[in-house]
Structure 1
Amino acid sequence: MAILTERFYQVGNTFVGLQSFPVMVIYLILIALSPLYQRMTKPYSLKQIMVVYNYTCSFISGCTLLGFITGMVKSGSIFRKEGNDVLEYSYFMYWCTKNIELLDTMFMILRHKRRQISFLHVYHHASMVLLTDFAYHYSPWAGIAFGLSINSFVHVCLYYYYGYTAQKTLPGAPTWKRHITELQITQFLIGLIHNTIGYLHHGFCVYSMFYGVSMLYLFSSFYYNAFLRKRKGE
């Protein structure tokens, strides 16, 4: 028990020392202050900005996807705990992307879409800023890049969907939204299986499994509440 406590303490100190930790703290403070801001202001449209922003995020995610795939091929294994120059550059770009994606929440605040700022939304964005910072500086490996490459693919689809719907009404938008959520759940399921195999046979860290379980649970709960329970109620 003492060893486990010491280990958690060491990990906590590492995360607090990351460059992105102050960014995460400011992000959470702005969310906490957002109700006050919205009571004092009128909502902005931001339509054109949203179009450019979302298409840009989709494009950058496509670049990180290609970088991770190239780096993994160069590494030779999706379980190898080693990096290379291609992976290191891709990890840096991916880390920068997760900081840029914090603007998702800022746009929600400016547009007075506070209902969209759920626990899942905040937990996902805040945690990814820290985890990608940690991965870039301490473990830019092929084994972790496998899950990040899937996430990059999902974000190519996700931000394209956001950009297109911001640009004009998308036919069948509710269906798109449901399928993208299913894609996200599939992503975390594959990642959890990969991390479990990595933990059992390749010395992966157990924390990746805990995080995967938390994301799988939260997205599955969202899917149930948004699509299945609603249908039962109708």
Structure 2
Amino acid sequence: MAATALLRRVRWALVDHPVVASFEWQPGRTLGATPSFAAAVVCAYLATVFLLHRRVLPLPTPTPRALRAVSALHNAILLALSAAMAAGCVLSVAATSPSRWWAFCFPPRGETATSGPVFFWAHVFYLSKVYELGDTLLIILGRRPLTLLHVYHHAVVIAMCYLWLATRQSLMPVALATNATVHVVMYGYYLCCSVGLRWPPRWKRAVTELQIVQFLFSFAASVVMLWRHFAAGGCEGMAGWVFNAVFNASLLALFLDFHGAAYAAAKGKRSRGEVGKAE
């Protein structure tokens, strides 16, 4: 009974709350609902990264303790937000989906209204990606290496999330729930690191591999969506899906390259260490 009552309260907060249930994406009126907003955020991000990375702008020098505290708070916020978005999206689909295929294929020809709980969480997800740009600032402040994969991913995901909403992209609920769930694990790991809880190296590798599995899963889900698109009268938001598919393919290639470079090198070091001990 207690679990049922808790689930009822969670569903009210994440699905039935008036703010969530009455949400409507209105181009030009909803926060961030213009291509100029997304473009401005991406351009400002890239310019700031370039200027800070090149030391054109003065770079603050926080104490290690202060930086760890800020990192812990940042990661805790994103952990909680990711969990809320994953749960909110899944419960919203379960409560409002008009058919079992809806999460994979929105009805075409404008039959899908950009309103209701699922689109509320898609909007929250979009805005959360703007907040996630703080990841980069923390890396720069910590004087850690900044990779092309990191900057490219954080910049282009803003455009991707805008297109989800602007084109009513099919597969959006699946992609949102999957990505937010992966981010629960990822930011949970980062939070542990920022508060000094050190995990074995294999856990860091597992986080990277989980992200790779996410992209592979997205392609498997796309097969279902394309089947519905061609066999059942079409799916909404195909232009947005094409952009998303190309972006995911590029991320998969970059993550595989990163995985090979980072963990093959680590394996090589361990092997050389073992040889050294034997000698």
TM-score, scaled to structure 2? 0.71
Matched, 1:185 2:227: no
Matches of 1:54 and 1:135 in 2, distance apart? 25
Matches of 2:59 and 2:37 in 1, distance apart? 32
Matched, 1:64 2:95: no
- 1:6 aligns with none
Q: Which amino acid aligns with 2:47?
A: I
- 1:10 aligns with none
CA contact (8 A) 2:75 2:187 kept: yes
- 1:156 aligns with 184
* Cα deviation, residue 156, structure 1: 0.6
| Corresponding residue to 1:166 among 174, 177, 194 | 194
- 1:17 aligns with 35
Q: Which amino acid aligns with 2:184?
A: V
| Corresponding residue to 2:222 among 180, 195, 204 | 195
Question: Gaps (5+ residues) in structure 2?
Answer: 1-32, 107-111, 230-234, 273-279
| Corresponding residue to 1:80 among 105, 120, 138 | 105
Partner SS for 2:55 = helix
Structural mapping, 1:131-146, within 5 Å:
131-139=160-168, 143-146=171-174
Matches of 2:252 and 2:54 in 1, distance apart? 32
TM-score, scaled to structure 1? 0.83
Matches of 2:166 and 2:34 in 1, distance apart? 14
CA contact (8 A) 2:85 2:121 kept: yes
Matched, 1:122 2:188: no
| Percent identical residues | 24
Partner SS for 1:37 = coil
- 2:125 aligns with 94
Matches of 2:58 and 2:82 in 1, distance apart? 35
Q: 1:225 to 1:55 in 2, by over 3 A?
A: same
Q: Which amino acid aligns with 1:181?
A: T
- Could you list the per-position Cα deviations for residues 73-121 of structure 1 after superposition, in whole angstroms to 9, with x for gaps in the alignment? 23132312146511011011101110000000011122222x1x21110
Q: Which amino acid aligns with 1:71?
A: S
Structure ID, larger Rg: 2
Matched, 1:34 2:52: yes
Q: 1:20 to 1:171 in 2, by over 3 A?
A: same
Instruction: Decide which moves more: 52-61 or 212-221.
Output: 212-221
Q: Which amino acid aligns with 1:104?
A: D
* Cα deviation, residue 232, structure 1: 3.3
Instruction: Supply the RMSD in Å over aligned alpha carbons.
Output: 2.3
Partner SS for 1:19 = helix
Matches of 2:243 and 2:155 in 1, distance apart? 17
Matches of 1:88 and 1:52 in 2, distance apart? 27
Matched, 1:105 2:136: yes
- How many equivalent pairs are there? 216
Q: 1:36 to 1:214 in 2, by over 3 A?
A: closer
* Cα deviation, residue 221, structure 1: 1.0
Instruction: Decide which moves more: 90-99 or 162-171.
Output: 162-171
Q: 1:39 to 1:100 in 2, by over 3 A?
A: closer
Partner SS for 1:218 = helix
Matches of 2:59 and 2:249 in 1, distance apart? 39
